Amino acid sequence: MQLDNYKEGIKLYNTQNTSAHMVKSNFVIRLRQYKKLWQSIKDADMAHPEQHYIIQGVRGSGKTTMLRRLAIEVEEDQQLSSWLIPITFKEEEYGISSLFTFWERLAEELAEFNSALFGTLFETVDDLEDNEIKQLIAVIDQTLITHNKKIILFIDNIAELFEPFSQHEGEILREVLTTNNNIRIFGGSAVRLEAFFDNTAPFYQFFTVETLTGLKKNETIALLNKLSEHAGEKEQQTLKLLLKNEPEKVESIRRLTGDIPRTMVILFNILVEGAKGSTFRLLEETIDKTTPLYKHRMDDLTAQQKPIVNAIALNWDAISVKELTEKTRLPSKQISAQLRQLEKQWIIEKTTTHTKNHLYALKERFFNIWYLMRYGRRKDRKKVSGSPSLWKYGALERIY
């Protein structure tokens, strides 16, 4: 998760726009995964087609920052940058709607990177017709060969970007990535790829996947320490005393956020600002800041998953398949199948019982709080303000 200077405001979204200096100085979590991915880049000379990677995890888990950190390292490595060009697509590339526009966008990025080398490339590409995809790819490939350059392409939300491609376009792209040693892709995805690419899709089991799960305890502490460092001396001292005398409060934050970095950042903001009135008011302020994150998470779900998540969220406490069948009017087999997918997507967690009737709840409890406050009826919202189970999971009032 990218942390910006707290006095200027922490960047919760659009972290691609953060300066290289800030990204590097604030990169204090996901270090094991970063070293692994960086080593795979540094050790590859791309004499032959290399393995392509996708970093997957729920929204707010740090995928964008990881891709940005890797791109910066390539750019600043003198040996690598002499022949390897790091290109980063924006988080949302609304102009890419086909395989042709994908390569056209890449040519445009190359021209922006070095107009002396690639300025005429974009002009040549711009003259091609939409059905001349293979010619377009060949032009880019030959230009790279001519200048002894190769590309490492960082694509966030890669599953969504590939979604408009036809089956034929996907097959062409897979063939290029399999046989061409001049381009390598590192992507990020907020959905598990098996939920997006089935066994008939061109990219089924094509990418090597690195999964960003919840933070470990030591990573949580490193994140909070970095936040307090930006916040000021007073906040640093407050956190130091809290870690020493009340470590259970840190554990409360972990449970409430599901160990998701961005949610931790938001809760820390509220924490250092101090309570402005009641805990319930504090809760409303925090919910407002999490809305873009959680709304995207709901939008990522399939049409079959949304009513199931809705029923689980509105119930608040863990719920069985039988109860979900009654609430959603969906067949139990369909619900069970979707629950397995939702568990793989880190949206829900299963509590096993001594019977076959296992229980299911939203994995990130603050996501559940947000859903109840935003979409629940009055009686549902009372579950947030008055239910003892809220405090069991480490509520805001306990943190304060």
* 252-265 pLDDT, tens digit each: 788 888 889 998 88
Quote the pLDDT of residue 2.
44
Instruction: Report pLDDT digits (tens) over 227-238.
Output: 999 888 988 988
List the domain boundaries for the chain: 30-211, 298-399
Q: Out of 36-45, 64-73, 297-306, 369-378, which region has the weakest mean confidence (pLDDT)?
A: 369-378
d(CA 276, CA 286): 12
**Average of per-residue pLDDT values in the chain:** 87
User: How much is the pLDDT for 286?
Assistant: 79
> How confident is the model over 239-248, as pLDDT tens digits?
888 889 888 8
Give the C-alpha distances (Å, rounded to integers) separating 388 from 283, 366, 391, 398: 16, 15, 5, 12
Burial call 39-65: b when 16+ CB within 10 Å, e when fewer: ebbeebebeeebebbbbbbbbbbbbbb
- Cα 289 to chain centroid distance, Å, stands at 17
Q: Work out the number of other CB atoms within 10 angstroms of the CB of residue 283.
A: 21
pLDDT of residue 335: 97
Same fold, 30-211 and 298-399: no
Greater pLDDT, 145 or 270:
145
Beta partners for 351? 359
Instruction: Give the CATH number of domain 298-399; options: 3.30.590.20, 1.10.357.10, 1.10.10.10, 1.10.3720.10.
Output: 1.10.10.10
Supply the pLDDT for residue 17: 80
CATH 3.30.559.10 fits 30-211, yes or no: no
Average pLDDT, stretch 378-391?
Answer: 59
CA distance 326 to 28: 46
pLDDT of residue 181 exceeding 70? yes
- Of 81-90, 222-231, 270-279, 390-399, least confident by mean pLDDT is 390-399
Question: What pLDDT, on the 0 to 100 scale, is given for residue 388?
Answer: 46
pLDDT tens, 266-325? 888 666 654 444 556 666 777 888 899 999 999 989 999 999 999 999 999 999 999 999
Lowest mean pLDDT among 50-64, 104-118, 229-243: 229-243
Name the band, by pLDDT with cuts 50, 70 and 90, for residue 357: confident
pLDDT of residue 285: 75
User: Is the per-residue pLDDT at 115 higher than 70?
Assistant: yes
What pLDDT sits at residue 1? 43
